[in-house]
């Protein structure tokens, strides 16, 4: 912010703040820009970090490509309703059980992407999503999961992910999630 705005926000007269600036007694860092403008505060914090917001959608197999478009549409609708400006949409066909997803790895490796929007947590990462979120958070980046109807109980979510992985190996990847869900429903009832 400029010197005048800073002074008024602190309850100080702008002329007093300017006098402090001239004599080098300002309690916060200042930077002169041009002939008249004096910025107060750390220069990096005065420049808002402009990063991009990306929608990431994924399906496991190519016969589910129609669901890919529906995923993007649902997330895009949610994003516009919640005031996000979408810079890019990334779609991918690939299993969440392995790390062979180029688009996913490119999103994680690009420091200019500050927000990643996904419909469900498992569309982003089947296992270790908490670790990925923590790593993104350490870089001032974030993952936003749009569907709030997800299972919040960590133990139930972990068991679901484990069963999905086991059923994927046993029955094939296509119907693994459905079989895991039916197994959990049978156990809970």
CA angle 84, 119, 178 (to 5 degrees): 175
Average pLDDT score over residue span 67-78: 88
Instruction: Say which of 9, 45, 52, 60 is annotated catalytic.
Output: 60
What pLDDT score was predicted for residue 48? 42
What pLDDT score was predicted for residue 53? 92
pLDDT of residue 152 exceeding 60, the answer is no
CB 179 within 8 A of CB 171: yes
User: What does DSSP say about strands 52-59 and 88-93: parallel, antiparallel, or unpaired?
Assistant: parallel
- For the chain, which domains are there? 3-46 (no CATH), 52-145 (3.40.50.1390), 154-188 (no CATH)
pLDDT of residue 54 exceeding 90, the answer is yes
Q: Annotated catalytic, 60?
A: yes
Beta-sheet strands, E only, within the chain: 30-33, 37-40, 52-59, 88-93, 113-118, 142-145
What pLDDT score was predicted for residue 153? 60
Highest-confidence segment of 12-21, 91-100, 136-145, 178-187: 12-21
CA angle 98, 69, 152 (to 5 degrees): 60
pLDDT of residue 172 exceeding 70, the answer is no
> Which residues are within 8 A (CB) of 40 and not within 5 positions of it... i.e. 6 or more apart?
1, 2, 3, 5, 6, 26, 28, 29, 30, 46
């Amino acid at each position: 912010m400029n010197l005048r705005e800073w002074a008024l926000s602190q309850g100080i007269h702008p002329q007093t703040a300017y006098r402090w600036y001239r004599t080098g007694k300002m309690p916060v860092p200042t930077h002169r820009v041009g002939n008249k403008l004096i910025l107060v505060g750390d220069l990096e914090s005065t420049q808002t970090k402009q990063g991009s917001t990306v929608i990431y959608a994924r399906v496991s197999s190519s016969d589910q490509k129609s669901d890919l478009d529906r995923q993007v549409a649902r997330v895009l609708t949610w994003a516009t309703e919640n005031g996000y400006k979408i810079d890019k949409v990334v779609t991918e066909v690939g299993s969440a059980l392995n790390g062979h997803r180029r688009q996913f790895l490119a999103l994680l490796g690009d420091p200019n992407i500050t927000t990643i929007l996904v419909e469900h947590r498992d569309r982003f990462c089947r296992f270790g999503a908490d670790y990925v979120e923590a790593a993104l958070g350490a870089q001032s980046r974030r993952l936003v999961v749009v569907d709030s109807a997800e299972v919040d109980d960590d133990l139930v979510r972990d068991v679901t992910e484990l069963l999905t992985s086991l059923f994927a190996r046993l029955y094939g990847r296509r119907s693994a999630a459905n079989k895991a869900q039916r197994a959990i429903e049978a156990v809970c009832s």
